[in-house]
Amino acid sequence: MRCRWLNCERGLHSLRAKLTLTTVALLALGIVAATAVSLMGMRYYLLDQVDTELTKTRDSLGGSQLTLRQIDSLSVLGFVHDRLAPQQTDERAAPDTIYAAVDADGHVASLLGFKPTEAQRGLSRAVGDPHALMRHTRPQDVSVHGALYRVTATRLPDGTYILLASSTDALHRGMLKALKLDLTIGTLLLALLACLTLFSVRRRMRPLEDMVETSSAIAEGDLTRRVPSSHHPTQEVEQLRLALNSMLHQVESAYRTREDSAAQLRRFVADASHELRTPLSAIRGYLQLYDKGMLSDPDERKRAWERVLAETDRMGRLVDELLTLARLDQQPELRFRNVDVSRLVRDAAQDLRAQQPDRPVEVTAGGSLLVRADESGLRQVLGNLVGNVRTHTPAEVPVRLGVEREDGVVRLCVADEGPGLCAEDAARVFDRFFRAGGGAGSGLGLAIVQGVVQAHGGEVAVRTAPGEGLAVTVTLPARATAAPT
């Protein structure tokens, strides 16, 4: 019982029910107003006809200048006798018209040899003072034995007052029938409108129900759900659907991005811990050997000391690279100025020749090519790319370094003819701590390259295949700007 009451309460407070009730209420007010106006107009029109007839008769009698005796003796009222019917065989029935003569003392006089009827006496009592009635130019309402009449009066030269009354019962009965008919038709119209409105509102509210269903599904974990389009959407509902779907797409993207960032952070922390654990373990091991006096030979102590220094340098480089990535993640403000990229490429090639004299190095960077950029950042990019080649390819493998300006951008390319990478490794080449085949290096070089280039508003692309070497292309705007936040 309580659940049923709650469902009823929820239904009465629903938007569908409120719209239906509001529409029906407005139509009901319109029907009531229209009925009232029509009945008032009909009553005014019919009363005006009755008043016109009474006024004409009154003016005719008043303008004849006849006394009551002359009227009685000449029977001049015979022309109105049949129409006004002052005598009734059945005095209990209310006549349609009443004609009465009242003398100066207020007594009802006999006319045409007939004694005053009960209706004539009742009219005289209802009017009271005929002189006061004469002050009104239009007939007035009176009640005679419970029946409603319109009455007017005129005064004859001998001081007698003539009262003329016409019944309005037929008028009010007609108005009552019209009112009942209007209410019956109005009730049927309200019931029909309520059904049509409820059906139409339910149909129009279907997209909102779909939105509720979609929101519930998303709350349960299905982030791919979207609000479907209805067959006959309204403009406002369609705009709401598109806006909601756009918001849901942004929410899903943000959620996916957060999940990916969290997973990447966990992987980054695990990889960093692993990378730092190796040199720390080596350093701890040599220190324990030295502490226990197991390095008695000077050559062994020298070799252990060199290994400790090497692992310390390795750990220092790793920490520096981690700090560089952390700064890039914070999107630092770069110091842009005009930088000659050709000169930087030639300097990188010269450094590579000094480190590996036997490696063939081809440079395509003639003249001067200026670009707005952070010089230290570009030097780090070139240093990491060249260091990647030096670390992962044999010393006899040729290397090509080139830079060119094309279509408003500057392209810098470092390519080697080494073993190359498979498609799976190429897809992860910019991941932090990723090393193809578990090779040497920290696995952060290309990640730093990507971070620096994106901070300049540029892009990095890799072209490689097994046995075809590796080519890394850096594309920078001709006027480099910071990456969008």
Residue 246 backbone dihedrals phi, psi, to 5 degrees = -65, -45
**In b/e form, how buried is each residue of 384-396, taking b as 16+ CB within 10 angstroms?**
bbbbbbbebbeee
Is the model's pLDDT at 483 over the cut of 80? Answer: no
> Among residues 39, 177, 153, which one has the least CA distance to residue 98?
153
Written as six digits, the tokens of 474 are: 């850096």
Is the model's pLDDT at 103 over the cut of 50? Answer: yes
Residues contacting residue 34 through CB under 8 Å, at least 6 positions apart: none
Percent helix, strand and coil across the chain, each rounded to 5? Answer: 60, 15, 25
Q: What percent of the chain has pLDDT over 70?
A: 79
**pLDDT tens digits along 128-180:** 888 788 788 888 888 888 888 888 888 877 777 888 888 888 888 888 888 88
Is the model's pLDDT at 4 over the cut of 60? Answer: no
Count Cβ atoms below 10 Å from residue 84 Cβ, excluding itself.
18
Is the model's pLDDT at 441 over the cut of 70? Answer: no
pLDDT recorded at residue 83? 42
113 or 21: which carries more pLDDT confidence?
A: 21
Is the model's pLDDT at 416 over the cut of 80? Answer: yes
pLDDT recorded at residue 450? 83
pLDDT recorded at residue 90? 47
pLDDT band at 12 (very low <50, low <70, confident <90, very high): low
Residues 141-150: contacts with CB under 8 Å, at least 24 apart: 141/168, 144/94, 144/98, 144/119, 145/94, 145/118, 145/119, 146/94, 147/94, 148/172, 149/98, 149/123, 150/47, 150/50, 150/51, 150/54
Angstrom distances, CA of residue 164 to CA of 157, 160, 309 = 17, 13, 135
Q: What is residue 139's three-state secondary structure?
A: coil
> Among residues 47, 279, 229, 60, which one has the least CA distance to residue 156?
60
Q: What is residue 465's three-state secondary structure?
A: coil
CA dihedral 425→426→428→432, nearest 10 degrees, is 100
**pLDDT tens digits along 271-280:** 667 667 767 7
Cα distance between residue 69 and residue 111, in whole Å: 9
144 or 111: which carries more pLDDT confidence?
A: 144
Residue 136 backbone dihedrals phi, psi, to 5 degrees = -90, 125
Mean pLDDT of 242-266: 81
Dihedral of CA 413/419/422/424: which sign? negative
Cα distance between residue 431 and residue 446, in whole Å: 8
> Among residues 418, 393, 389, which one has the least CA distance to residue 401?
389
pLDDT recorded at residue 119? 81
Mean pLDDT of 59-70: 67
- Longest Cα–Cα distance of the chain, Å, equals 171
Question: Which of 36-45, 171-180, 232-241, 269-278 is predicted with the least confidence, judged by mean pLDDT?
Answer: 269-278
Angstrom distances, CA of residue 66 to CA of 69, 299, 314 = 8, 163, 141
pLDDT recorded at residue 233? 65
- Strand 470-477's sheet: what is its strand order? 361-364, 399-406, 409-416, 470-477, 459-464
Written as six digits, the tokens of 72 are: 């009685």
Query: Quick one: DSSP state of residue 110?
Result: P
Q: What is residue 153's three-state secondary structure?
A: strand
Is the model's pLDDT at 221 over the cut of 70? Answer: yes
Amino acid at 178: A
**pLDDT tens digits along 177-219:** 888 888 888 889 888 888 888 787 777 777 777 777 888 887 8
Q: What is the DSSP string of 244-312?
A: HHHHHHHHHHHHHHHHHHHHHHHHHHHHHHHHHHHHHHHHHHHHHHHHTT---SHHHHHHHHHHHHHHH
**In b/e form, how buried is each residue of 212-234, taking b as 16+ CB within 10 angstroms?**
eebeeebeeeeeebbbeeeeebe
53 or 3: which carries more pLDDT confidence?
A: 53
